[in-house]
Amino acid sequence: MNDLQTFGIPGHVTIAEGTNGLPKVLIETSGSSAEIYLHGAHVTHFQITGEAPLIFLSEASEFHPEKAIRGGIPMIFPWFGPREGFPAHGFARTAAWNLTDTSVLADGSVRLSFHLPNIDGYGIKYGVTVGRSLSLEWIVTNTSDQQRTFETCLHTYLQISNIHDISITGLQDAAYHDKVAGTDSLETTAALRVESEVDRVYSDTTSTVEIHDPGFKRTIRVEKSGSQSTVVWNPWIEKSKRMADFGDDEYLQMVCVESGNVAANHITLPPGGSATMTVQLSSEPTVS
């Protein structure tokens, strides 16, 4: 913890002890605030001044060193979903990341750089810029001497006023696999509404997705590049009750709109090759 203090910037970046002693970084700008745990390089909070938080974090999150934090923005790598004999969603979201740099940019935003020490032939860098929006840049390099194939996903939990009232646009005409029904379909609706458990993997889509929230009088924008997949997830009632680190009624306050490269959109890199994915989260006020 003492070594991390060198990355502090008075008035902008504070290194603190988080829940269960896990180190975290607190960020303040003139128009926003954020929190990032080094456990998983996990963004657990982002809020634009005067608005509700943009990022949802479960009140039941355990903050256990060997478990993923529930909510925020978990980093899924190098596989998406379960894998027999290995942790679900890979190792990145439970790894101890290194904070390597902090700086205040000319526009007053704050940029933080993280690095995951070389694991299993991968070098991983992650940049988080906190300002009027939240910008994420993820670079994976194949440091091995063989071709490597992997999946990536930023499993972003978004804070909403009520799941019954929101709609999601930007996915019309995209093909998706419905993991709940076990079927493949084409999205025919312009504005998706969540009315039951949803777990959909949309493929071959680079579109910006918007979450329209009349309760909070805002529209959340998820803009991305270097990402071919979008995942929409909400556990709904019964699954929420089965999750020990998630409140029974918290499904009402969140929806995941995840950017990544999963399933058929997996990434293959030659030795020395790199892949970059960027995601920008922002919001705009709406008039009801």
Q: What is the pLDDT of residue 118?
A: 81
Q: What is the pLDDT of residue 288?
A: 58
Q: Write the burial class of residue 84 (CB in 10 Å: 0-12 exposed, 13-18 middle, 19+ buried).
A: exposed
* One CATH from 3.20.20.120, 3.30.565.10, 2.70.98.10, 2.30.30.110 for 3-285: 2.70.98.10
276 φ/ψ angles, rounded to the nearest 5 degrees = -120, 135
From the CB of residue 114, how many other CB atoms can be counted at a distance below 10 Å?
21
Q: Return the bridge partners of 137, or none.
A: 127, 278
pLDDT score at 84: 87
Residues 92, 40: contact at Cβ < 8 Å?
yes
pLDDT at 85: 87
Contact in structure between 131 and 30 (CB atoms under 8 Å): no
* Angle at 134 (CA atoms; ends 132, 135), nearest 5 degrees: 120
The pLDDT, as a whole number, for residue 287 is 75
Q: What is the distance between the terminal CA atoms of the chain, rounded to a whole angstrom? A: 47
Nearest 5°: the CA angle 247, 248, 250 is: 60
Q: What pLDDT is stored for residue 11 in this prediction?
A: 97
pLDDT reported for residue 187 = 98
Strand order in the sheet with 42-48: 13-17, 23-28, 32-37, 42-48
Query: For residue 248, what pLDDT is reported?
Result: 98
The per-residue pLDDT for 159 is 98
State CA 238 to chain mean position distance: 24
Q: Is the pTM of this model over 0.85?
A: yes
Q: Give the residue carrying structure tokens 């994915």.
A: 277
Q: What is the pLDDT along the chain (288 residues), one digit of tens a residue?
A: 668 999 999 999 999 999 999 999 999 999 999 999 999 999 999 999 999 999 999 999 999 999 999 999 999 999 999 888 888 999 999 999 999 999 999 999 999 999 998 888 999 999 999 999 999 999 999 999 999 999 999 999 999 999 999 999 999 999 999 999 999 999 999 999 999 999 999 999 999 999 999 999 999 999 999 999 999 999 999 999 999 999 999 999 999 999 999 999 999 999 999 999 999 999 999 975
